Chain A
Amino acid sequence: MGLLTNLRDSITRVTDRLFADDEPKRIGIYGPPNAGKTTLANRIARDWTGDAVGPESHIPHETRRARRKENVQIERNGKTVTIDIVDTPGVTTKVDYKEFLDHDMEKDDAVKRSREATEGVAEAMHWLREDVDGVIYVLDSSTDPFTQVNTMLIGIIESQDLPVLIFANKVDLDDADVKRISDAFPQHETVPLSALEGDNMDEVYEKIAEYFG
C-alpha cells in the first residue's frame, strides 16, 4: 500500500513537471542567513525586470517573508527562459533575539524580529516541500560550508528530486574559498559569483537557463 502510494506520487510528480513546461518555473533561493540571497535576487530582478525584490542588510534575518518576483525573463543563447524568483528567509535551527541586541536594537524590536524570523524560516521550509520547482542554494564563500543546516537542506532538496545549483557567493571577499564549497557538495555544480559586485553573472545566467529552462 505504502509502496504503491509512493510509486504513484513519484510518477505524478515527474509527469506534472514534464507537462508543466508552459508555466514559469518557481525557483527558490535558499541558504543560511547572510549568504547574500536577497542581494542575488535583487541583482537578477534588476538585471531583467528593472525592479528589486526586497531590502538587503548585514543584520541576519532581514528577509522574514518569502518574496516572489514573477515572470523574470532571462535571455541566453537566443533562448528566453521565464522563471519566478522566490527569495526566502535564511534557514536556521535556532533564533535567539539576543543576537539582534548586538546590532543596536532595542529588546522589543529584537524580540519582534526574532518572532518574525522564526515564522519566516517555517514558511521557507513549507515552500521547499510544496511550492518550488528548482533551487538556487546560496553560500557565503568566506565561511565554512560544512554546517548542519547546509547538510540537511541539500539532503531535503535532493529528496524532493529538485534541480539545484550551488552559488558560491561573495567571491569578492579576500578569504573566499570556492573550492571548499565545491568539495563539500561534489554531487552538484558550483558557480562562483559576487552578487554585490556583479562578478561572473554571465555564467550565473547561463547556468540558470541550462538548469531551469
Chain B
Amino acid sequence: MPEATTPNGGDGDGDGVRIDLISGARMEGLTSMEKIRLILDSVRDGDIVVLEAGLSPEEESKLIEVTMTEISPDDFSGIEIETYPSSQQPNQGLVGRLLGKEEAANKLTVIGPANQIETLHKDEDLISALVSRK
C-alpha cells in the first residue's frame, strides 16, 4: 500500500505521527464497510489517513454512523475529517445519478483522531490542519 511514515519507526507508538496515504486504486477494490473499517482501525490507533479518492456520500454517512457507535469516554472521542466542499465538484446531472455514479472521485480526504488533528483553515481550495502527537 502506498504509505508514508515518520522516521521514528512509523508504528504510531513513537514520538511521531503515522500518516497512511491510501491510493484510489486500493480503495476501489474494497466494500463500503471494509473502507470504513480500514479508516477507523487506523484512526483509533492514532494514525492520520489520507485518501486519494475520498468516499462516496453514502460511505461518508455510514462512516459518521459507525464512528458514533465506537466513541467511548476517555478512549476515543471521534474523528476529524476534511475534504473540499462538494459544491466544487462538477455537477454530473440526472443521467449520472440514474446510473449510480457518485461524486467521490478525486476528493482528497484527510481523516484523523479528533483529539489529534485540528483544522486551522478551510475554504474552497485549501485545507490547513495542525496534527499533534498522542
Contacts and interface: CB of A to CB of B under 8 A. Distances in A.
- A, B bound: yes
A17 to B, nearest CB: 14
A128 B57 contact: no
Interface in B43-94: 56-58, 60-62, 64-65, 67-69, 71, 73, 77-87, 91
Interface in A143-170: 146-148, 151-152, 154-156, 158-161
Nearest to A9: B100
Interface string A75-114: 0000000000000000111111100000000000001001
Given A3-B99, A7-B100, A121-B68, A156 B87 contact: no
A125 B86 contact: no
Q: Name A's interface SS.
A: helix
A151 B83 contact: yes
A200 interface: no
A122 B60 contact: no
Interface residues of B, number: 36
Contacts of B87: 154, 184-187
B66 to A, nearest CB: 8
Contacts of B99: 3, 6-7
A100 to B, nearest CB: 11
A10 to B, nearest CB: 5
B133 interface: no
B78 A95 contact: yes
B102 to A, nearest CB: 6
Given A92-B78, A119-B68, A151-B83, A156 B58 contact: yes
Contacts of A46: none
Interface stretch (B11-19, B23-31, B114-122): B114-122
A11 B78 CA distance: 36
Contact of A93 (B81, B100, B102): B81
A73 to B, nearest CB: 31
A183 to B, nearest CB: 10
Given A125-B64, A158-B86, A159-B103, A152 B78 contact: no
Nearest to B98: A10
B28 to A, nearest CB: 13
A145 B80 CA distance: 16
A96 B114 contact: yes
A126 interface: yes
A118 interface: yes
Contacts of B115: 96
Contacts of A147: 122
A129 interface: yes
Contact of B98 (A6, A97, A151): A6
10 contacts: A93-B67, A94-B71, A95-B71, A95-B77, A96-B114, A125-B61, A147-B122, A151-B85, A151-B86, A154-B86
Interface of B: 56-58, 60-62, 64-65, 67-69, 71, 73, 77-87, 91, 97-100, 102-103, 114-115, 119, 122-123
Given A154-B87, A155-B103, 8 more contacts: A95-B78, A148-B80, A152-B57, A156-B58, A158-B57, A159-B56, A159-B102, A184-B85
Shortest 5 CB-CB contacts between residues of A and residues of B: A6-B100, A94-B78, A159-B57, A94-B114, A155-B86
